[in-house]
Every structure is written in C-alpha cells, then in structure tokens.
Amino acid sequence: MKMVGVAWAIGFPSGILLFLLTKREVDKNRLKQLKARQKMKASNVGEYERARYRRASLGPEGVADTKA
C-alpha cells in the first residue's frame, strides 16, 4: 500500500505538470498558426486582374493582324 501512495505522490503532480506544459506548447502553436492565417488573409486582399492577364482572358486580339 505504501508503494501505491508513493506512486500517486510522484505521478499525480508530474502528470498535472506535464499537462500544463503541453497545453502551453499547443497554445503557442495555435497562436503561431493564427498569425500566419491572418497574414495570408491580409495579403489576399486587393486587385487580382492585371493588364497582361486581361489580354489573355479577352481572347486573341492580334490574330486578325497576323493573317494579312
């Protein structure tokens, strides 16, 4: 019975300590991921349509000029 008490006296506090350290590490990683997502979201705002892509999407403009 004494061995069980010693095991509980060592295991219980160390388990709580390990849980708290793991929780802190998970929260750090979550914060890092959140900041990365916010940066990506902020960088995706803006105008995507540019002149060089607009020409390709409108169709061949200079095709009639090359056949002459």
| 18-38 pLDDT, tens digit each | 999 999 999 999 999 999 999
What pLDDT sits at residue 60? 59
For residues 55 and 61, the answer to whether their CB atoms sit within 8 Å is yes
What pLDDT sits at residue 55? 60
Better-predicted residue by pLDDT, 67 or 8: 8
Better-predicted residue by pLDDT, 67 or 46: 46
Residue 11 belongs to some domain of the structure: yes
CA distances from 27 to 13, 23, 24, 37 (A): 21, 6, 5, 15
Residue 48 belongs to some domain of the structure: yes
Place of tokens 């990365």: 36
Number of domains in the chain: 1
Residue 63 belongs to some domain of the structure: no
